[in-house]
C-alpha cells in the first residue's frame, strides 16, 4: 500500500443511479491503495445503484450528501462518469455548487468519461484543456474548454489541478495520474 494520499479524504460524487461502476470502483481502489480515504457523496442518503453501461450492477453505501457536506471536508474530488450520472447531477443545484466549490478552493479534481457535464454546468471548464467521452466534445468547446482526444489530460492552467480521461479503457492512466495530482 502506498502513502501518497495518507491523511487525505477524497470525495467521489455520484448520482443515486447511473454511475458507470468501474469508473467509481477503480479510482476508489487507487485512492485506498495510495493510503487515502475515499467517501461517497450523493444527492440523497442510502445507497447508489452502479451500472455496467446500461445494465444495473452493484449498490454502494453513501457516506454523506451534498446537503450536509461541502468541499471544506475534502482534499480533492473524483467525478466518475456514466451517461445518466452527470446528466442527473448537472440538474441538481447543490451538486453543481459542490463541484464548483473544489475549483473555487483550488482543490484537485479528476473527472472521467461523461463526468465533465457537471463541470460544464458549474462553469469551471472555460479556458481549461480537457478530454472526455467524444460526444461531449462540442459541449465542452461551447463552454470554453480546449477539448483534446487523449488518454489522460492534466490541466494546471486554472485555479486548481484538473485531470480528465475519455473512457473506461483509460482507467489505468486516469487512476495513476489522479492519485499523483490528488496527492499535491
Please give the grid coordinates belonging to residue 119.
463541470
Q: Any idea which residues carry the catalytic annotation? A: 114
CA atoms lying within 13 Å on the CB side of residue 152: 19
Count of CB atoms situated within 10 Å of the CB of 17:
15
Rg (C-alpha) for the chain, rounded Å, is 14
The owner of cell 461531449 is 136
The owner of cell 486516469 is 174
Left, alpha or beta for 59 (phi > 0: left; psi -120 to 50: alpha)? beta
Alpha-carbon distance of 27 to 79, in angstroms, equals 10
Amino acid at each position: 500500500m502506498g502513502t501518497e494520499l495518507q491523511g487525505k479524504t477524497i470525495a467521489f460524487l455520484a448520482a443515486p443511479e447511473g454511475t458507470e461502476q468501474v469508473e467509481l470502483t477503480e479510482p476508489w481502489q487507487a485512492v485506498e491503495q495510495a493510503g487515502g480515504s475515499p467517501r461517497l457523496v450523493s444527492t440523497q442518503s442510502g445507497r447508489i445503484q452502479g451500472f455496467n453501461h446500461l445494465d444495473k450492477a452493484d449498490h454502494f453505501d453513501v457516506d454523506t450528501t451534498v446537503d450536509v457536506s461541502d468541499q471544506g471536508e475534502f482534499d480533492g474530488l473524483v467525478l466518475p462518469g456514466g451517461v445518466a450520472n452527470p446528466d442527473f447531477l448537472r440538474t441538481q443545484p447543490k451538486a453543481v455548487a459542490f463541484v464548483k466549490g473544489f475549483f473555487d478552493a483550488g482543490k484537485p479534481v479528476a473527472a472521467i468519461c461523461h463526468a465533465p457535464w457537471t463541470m460544464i454546468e458549474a462553469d469551471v471548464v472555460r479556458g481549461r484543456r480537457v478530454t472526455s467521452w467524444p460526444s461531449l466534445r462540442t459541449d465542452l468547446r461551447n463552454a470554453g474548454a480546449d477539448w483534446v482526444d487523449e488518454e489522460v489530460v492534466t490541466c494546471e492552467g486554472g485555479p486548481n489541478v484538473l485531470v480528465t480521461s475519455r473512457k473506461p479503457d483509460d482507467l489505468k492512466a486516469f487512476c495513476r495520474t489522479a492519485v499523483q495530482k490528488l496527492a499535491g
